[in-house]
Amino acid sequence: MRGARREPRPGLMKNWCCRRSFAGWYSRLLLRERRASDHSEFPREGRSSVEDDREATEVPNRRGYKSRLGALVWFFRKSRDGWKRKHQDLKATVKGYKVRVADLSKSRDRWRLKAEEAAGRLAASEAEAASLRARLAAAEREKKRPREAAP
């Protein structure tokens, strides 16, 4: 079935009308099973089975939160979604900057090549102009020099 949630164990939720009460009951059940597997089957000395059951039904609050479990879940989920959204936004921004830097680097390389080619053409044109000036000056000197008479 699409969108259906899986039950933690088959048939456990069959008799429960409210998911919230099931969640509390199920966490107590898991805690009880965990404690039973951690300890031997024999009761501890000086304690009755009623005290053990009371201890097993209390859900330990590891960090000492005093709020309801549902409120904590809502708050932590909201907090997690917030930092996830913030991280995704920053990740997209960084990716955009990387793309922009790559584009600018390519563009800069292209312009550098064009500038180097233009500088090469300029140097060739200046050398050609200098050689033409030298030829022109030599030709003018030839004109000004008196010709020797032919015999």
**Mean pLDDT (whole number) for 15-34:** 64
Q: Are 70 and 20 in contact (CB under 8 A)?
A: yes
- The pLDDT-based confidence of 16 (bands split at 50, 70, 90) is very low
Joined tokens for residue 25: 């009951």
Q: Are 31 and 60 in contact (CB under 8 A)?
A: yes
Does the pLDDT of residue 78 top 90, yes or no? yes
pTM here? 0.41
Interhelix angle 49-57/19-38, nearest 10 degrees: 130
**Mean pLDDT (whole number) for 95-119:** 96
The b/e string for 45-70 (b: 16+ C-beta within 10 A; e otherwise) is eeeeeeebeeebeeeeeeeeeeeeee
Q: What does the alpha-carbon distance between residue 131 and residue 89 come to, in Å, rounded to a whole number?
A: 62
**Mean pLDDT (whole number) for 136-140:** 91
Residues in the chain: 151
Does the pLDDT of residue 149 top 60, yes or no? no
- State the chain's mean pLDDT as an integer: 78
